[in-house]
Amino acid sequence: MATVDVDLPHVKDEDPHHHGPAKGLGRWLYTTNHKDIGSMYLIFSLSMFMIGGIMALIIRAELFQPGLQLVEPNFFNQMTTMHGLIMVFGAVMPAFVGLANWMIPMQIGAPDMALPRMNNWSFWILPFAFLILLSSLFMPGGAPNFGWTFYAPLSTTYAPESVTFFIFGVHIMGASSIMGAINIIATILNMRAPGMTLMKMPLFVWTWLITAFLLIAVMPVLAGVVTMMLMDIHFGTSFFNAAGGGDPVLFQHVFWFFGHPEVYIMILPAFGIISEIIPTFARKRLFGYSSMVYAVASIALLSFVVWAHHMFTVGMPLVGEVFFMFATMLIAVPTGVKVFNWVATMFRGSMTFETPMLFAIAFVVLFTIGGFSGLMLAIAPADFQYHDTYFVVAHFHYVLVPGAIFSIMAATYYWLPKWTGHQLNETMGKLHFWLSFVGVNVTFFPMHFVGLAGMPRRIPDYALQFADFNSMASVGAFIFGFSQLVFIYNVIQNVRAGEKATAQVWDGAQGLEWTIPSPAPYHTFSKPPKVD
Amino acid sequence: MTEQNQTKTNRLVVRLATAAIAMFGFGFALVPLYDVFCDITGLNGKNFSQGPADVASVDRSRTVKVQFVTVNPADMPWEFKPTLRSMRVYPGEDQTTTFYAKNSTAEWMVAQAVPSVTPSEAAPYLHKVNCFCFDRQPLDAGTDTEMPLLFVVDPELPEHISTITLSYALYDLTDDQKVTQLTLDNDKGRTSL
Amino acid sequence: MKIWMLAIWSVMASFLGVQSNANRERDFEHGRFSVFIVAGLIMTLIFLLSVYGLVQLVMMYVN
Amino acid sequence: MSKAFTLALSLLSTPALADWQLNMNEGVTALSREIFDLHMLIFWICVVIGVAVFGVMFYSIFKFRKSKGAVAEHWHENTTVEVFWTVIPSIILIAMAVPATATLMDMYDTSEADVDIQITGYQWKWRYQYLDEDIDFFSNLSTPREEIVNESAKNPNYLLEVDNALVIPANKKVRFLVTANDVIHSWWVPHFAVKKDAIPGFINEAWVKVEEPGVYRGQCTELCGKDHGFMPVVVEVKSEADYAQWVADQKAMKLAMANEASKKFSMDELIAKGEGVYQAACAGCHQPNGQGIPGAFPAITGSAIATGAIDAHVDIIVNGKTGTAMQAFKEQLSAADIAAVVTYQRNALGNTVGDMVQPSAIQK
């Protein structure tokens, strides 16, 4: 991140008659303040993370032992589907949008987001989207039970009636993401403080700019595919119904055309966060800032040409298999290489290991393990043995839980003193880290083994040879699950009390957000800072 | 937000919004794009060639085994099977075969056969000159029929392909037909007034 | 024309994931945003076709 | 109370054979071994790169600590090093692509097969049709329900056992034509390294040439609804002689079943046979006690159809009911089975209608 030396705007010269936040519920309902909306996104994401987590614990409790103990198979499928949907669209994406809302204006010296009212609206439709989705749990026929990838015809002709609620839920989530993305692009491109050129922007802002373009390109395609589903179910078309000339494989192509860029949408902001945290605690500038920016930009384009590596066993002609294998292996290069940049940043640095740094290092190690299993999955012939087994479940949980979730936790611990003005309780933070670290590995590493041994995905019960590793995974899941209560305690504790945090907060921190006092005043950078 | 910044933002937002709507359209454009792509590569064993194929000459140097397979999806009660399990054909030579269908239920029904070819690489080379799958096949209660298929294997079929399997999934479209029939009658009724 | 050549070269560098600070400053100083988007799309198309060509080559070579 | 008891019972019954299999099955075909080698090759490449990267990282973590007085240096760019550590993995990947493409091409071999078998995925069972012989049967999960709900100990092949296994000859190329009847399934036998999605309305093909006779087990690998985890694949590979013998037995059995349809049964014989058929084919939805699941699957006890006209009862089993989950069992059950299960449903599960139907009266 380019070094930024800027004169500290002292609080006094804020315009004196400016008013603090409104009082009561109205503050949150009508707020157009990027900090309030950021907090609401993060609180919403944390609650969704808990709900999704409870569903994960139900799944793991059932899979603790062979035999059906707790739930009957149809409800189990509902749990896996809702767990996937809520974690992807409810926990990870809103958390990143919340962090973007909080930090981007402060990092580029802007007073607020470019379109504050749209910002409010794109948050407030989210709780209703998930209310619609979650209410389908109580409808006759139950919630969606066709997996978060909702392949046709299971999700069209053979779906429970609540599928229509699922479709409208996804429509609204998509609208919220698109509006959020438009808002972020407009803010980054038009509202940077003078002197804050694109070259000097922190990497978190860069990765979010690229993610926003990805969102605008693919969320409409997701809206398109669920609209096609709606027409198939209710208006008698046959996009995906072979009887009327449609094709279920068409669904998979259009879904994964959205799906693969979506997984990059869920990891690029994490790259940005880690690229902010490691330089701070290594007290050394990020190694190869330009390479990171260019590599992230190339991912935005290359992620559109590899979607069919999710479909190697669907019966593609040989030309298709070989093409998507080559393309997937080639685009792994700009993605994987970033890890070397982080390690090079640490090399010859001067490191301290507070909680954010612990999470960041765990991210680099465990995300790379997920990246390696991803590389193994790219080998098409081997994928015939891996596809739709627990090996794939282990892969994407390694890139999502120690990947996206750990980076969100790292960001929260990193910027919380700036938001609340209180220093972090390091011991509690470390307790949460080590519990999560152990829980995540005990949960997901055994899944590699049962997956290779032949256990398919999304099954409520399994053969005896998979029993031992599954019970271990379930124990790990409960450890990881309950250690998130420590996280909630840490956050609430930090909001309520703690030593006064300085503006700088972290010794090695660079960037505009550290030039304003902690807690960050309600309105910051009303007058743009001088950045040279 | 200075004045000039505001207009710049508005123009940017309009451009981004149109991009989002364009991508929504692109999502739907993927459907015809997919069919064109399938027709060229035979992806998923589909080919939409209908009618006589301009085939060079009969290639008597090799024979290709063409197998016939039938599937009754969902709750299709008809009995449906090929009269001939497989044939050895010369590429370029017109061939005919029939498929037996019996409607053993107590009501009039109409069905639509959906073809699929494997290996998908061979799909563009199997030309269906005339096939019962081109249109819907009605059957009265308790009656049966033999439905014709005229096809020719294109001599340009790659050498390494020696067996082509053509499968038909027979779908029950009785309800769909009744709905379309209803609308047709209404139109006729309305026009005749 | 020089802008286009530089843009193409930068996009290829970004596909590899390596870019020097100097080049980046040059790109951001002189390059125009739209030029980079178009160059990026063209290069992605070229990447697509070259991988497809490679696949056809490998297929021809085998049988 | 009973749920707590079953939970306790299941926790106590630690499975007989604890198995800590860590790696992929090497398999019994040339292709599955090739795939296993590819798997191990890419695995070791990842381990080597991992050790290198994490080595440098943990070295830095221990060596360059502030508490040990490390002072951070100020370089933050070195394009040559970056090019170096980008080109090396690219070369490794390209090198990796060569054997992978070779194996993939072997898998898409289109030479003539000795045996062609059509595999059709149904909601929650497989159907095997031998194209050259007139053999056609369904393969249902045969794990007893008591084991699944933990009322009795689990046998070693728990959830991986079927009533009629697919039988194929060893050392012969067997070609599978994979399709589906309702939703997308996926036919997978880990030891063959064969996995192909079964897509309704379309046909896919896969092939295998197994070297050693034996029984090989797999499962459906694409979410297909309620009992996705309960439709296993069992393939019995026999030597050529045994296979020919098996084909002959199947033909003989078909003949026996044909004349069984003309035989006269007593009421008790029908009810006894009917109970077995009910547990295998109907209990999945209508539940073993015939109560069904309200809102999803109707109950048999006191059902209007089961106690009404017997012809309507037969017709709904033979032709199913469009638009509902009730399938047409015409192809899945023999005439004798249908007659038996109809008689059983009318004279058991709380119904006492008292009439019966002979297999010869079943119109298929």
For A48-93, the pLDDT digits (tens) are: 999 999 999 999 999 999 999 999 999 999 999 999 999 999 999 9
**In a mutagenesis test of the D interface, which of A343, A369, A447, A475 is the best target, namely the one with the most D β-carbons within 10 Å?**
A343
Report chain D's mean pLDDT, rounded to a whole number: 87
Residue A205 shares a structural domain with residue A339: no
Residue D99 shares a structural domain with residue D121: no
Residue D224 shares a structural domain with residue D250: yes
Residue D270 shares a structural domain with residue D356: yes
Strands D125-130 and D115-122: antiparallel
Q: Is the pLDDT of residue A104 over 90?
A: yes
Q: Give D46 to chain C, closest Cα distance, Å.
A: 20
The domain of A475 spans 267-519
Sheet with D125-130, side-by-side order of all strands: D135-139, D125-130, D115-122, D174-180, D204-208
- Subunits close to C (at least 3 CB pairs below 8 A): A, B, D
Is position D24 within any domain? no
Provide the ipTM.
0.91
Inform me whether the C-beta atom of residue A243 falls under 8 Å from chain C C-beta atoms: no
Choose among B12, B24, B114: nearest Cβ to A242. Answer: B114
Tokens encoding A488: 């909630």
- One CATH from 2.70.210.12, 2.60.370.10, 2.130.10.10, 2.40.320.10 for B49-179: 2.60.370.10
In angstroms, the CA A413 to CA A357 distance is 9
In angstroms, the CA A237 to CA A244 distance is 7
pLDDT given for residue A531 in this prediction: 81
**In a mutagenesis test of the D interface, which of B44, B70, B71 is the best target, namely the one with the most D β-carbons within 10 Å?**
B71
**Residue A462 belongs to domain with CATH number:** 1.20.210.10
Cα–Cα distance list, B139 to B69, B98, B102, B107, D364 (Å): 21, 16, 8, 9, 17
pLDDT given for residue B44 in this prediction: 66
Q: Which of D229, D257, D285 is the last residue of a domain?
A: D257
Q: Which of A105-109, A224-228, D279-283 has the lowest mean pLDDT?
A: D279-283
Inform me whether the C-beta atom of residue A195 falls under 8 Å from chain C C-beta atoms: no
| Portion 43-72 of B in contact with C at CB < 8 A | none
Do A242 and D200 meet the contact criterion of CB atoms below 8 Å apart? yes
pLDDT given for residue D271 in this prediction: 86
In percent, the amount of chain D with pLDDT more than 70 equals: 94
Closest chain B CA to residue C62: B160
pLDDT given for residue B190 in this prediction: 59
List all residues 6 or more positions away from D362 whose beta carbon is below 8 Å from its beta carbon.
Answer: D261, D314, D318, D335, D338, D339
Average pLDDT (D101-123) is 92
In angstroms, the CA A146 to CA C6 distance is 48
Q: Which of D257, D273, D306 is the last residue of a domain?
A: D257
Contact B30 A250 (CB under 8 A): yes
In percent, the amount of chain B with pLDDT more than 70 equals: 89
Q: Is the pLDDT of residue A13 over 80?
A: no
Q: Is the pLDDT of residue D21 over 60?
A: yes
Q: Is the pLDDT of residue A464 over 80?
A: yes
- Indicate the number of domains in chain A: 2
Average pLDDT (A220-233) is 96
Q: Which of A458-462, B56-60, B152-156 has the lowest mean pLDDT?
A: B56-60
In angstroms, the CA A111 to CA A113 distance is 7
Contact A322 C58 (CB under 8 A): yes
**In a mutagenesis test of the C interface, which of D78, D83, D90, D93 is the best target, namely the one with the most C β-carbons within 10 Å?**
D83
Residue D138 shares a structural domain with residue D245: yes
Closest chain A CA to residue C36: A297
Q: Is the pLDDT of residue A6 over 70?
A: no
Do B114 and D356 meet the contact criterion of CB atoms below 8 Å apart? no
Q: Is the pLDDT of residue D98 over 80?
A: yes
Q: Is the pLDDT of residue D5 over 60?
A: no
Residue D80 shares a structural domain with residue D161: no
pLDDT given for residue B1 in this prediction: 62
Residue A275 shares a structural domain with residue A400: yes
Is position A195 within any domain? yes
In angstroms, the CA A403 to CA A405 distance is 6
Active site residues of A: 83, 112, 148, 176-177, 260, 262, 264, 275, 309-310, 335, 338, 457
pLDDT band at A16 (very low <50, low <70, confident <90, very high): very low
Residue A243 shares a structural domain with residue A336: no
In percent, the amount of chain A with pLDDT more than 90 equals: 81
Contacts of B158 in chain C (CB under 8 A): 63
Residue D69 shares a structural domain with residue D131: no
A271 vs B134, residue with greater confidence: A271
Per-residue pLDDT of D303-317, as tens digits, reads 888 888 888 888 888
In angstroms, the CA C37 to CA C41 distance is 6
| Portion 350-379 of A in contact with D at CB < 8 A | 350-353, 361, 364-365, 368-369, 372-373, 375-376, 379
In percent, the amount of chain D with pLDDT more than 90 equals: 51
Q: Is the pLDDT of residue D133 over 80?
A: yes
Residue D240 shares a structural domain with residue D328: no
Per-residue pLDDT of C16-63, as tens digits, reads 888 888 888 888 887 778 888 888 899 999 999 999 999 989 888 876
Residue D227 shares a structural domain with residue D289: no
Query: Where along chain B do its domains lie?
Result: 1-41, 49-179
Per-residue pLDDT of A177-218, as tens digits, reads 999 999 999 999 999 999 898 888 999 999 999 999 999 999
pLDDT given for residue D356 in this prediction: 85
pLDDT given for residue A3 in this prediction: 42
The domain of D126 spans 115-257
Q: Is the pLDDT of residue D142 over 60?
A: yes
Angle, CA A235 vertex, CA A230 and CA A237 arms, to 5°: 85
Report chain A's mean pLDDT, rounded to a whole number: 92
Q: Is the pLDDT of residue B193 over 50?
A: no
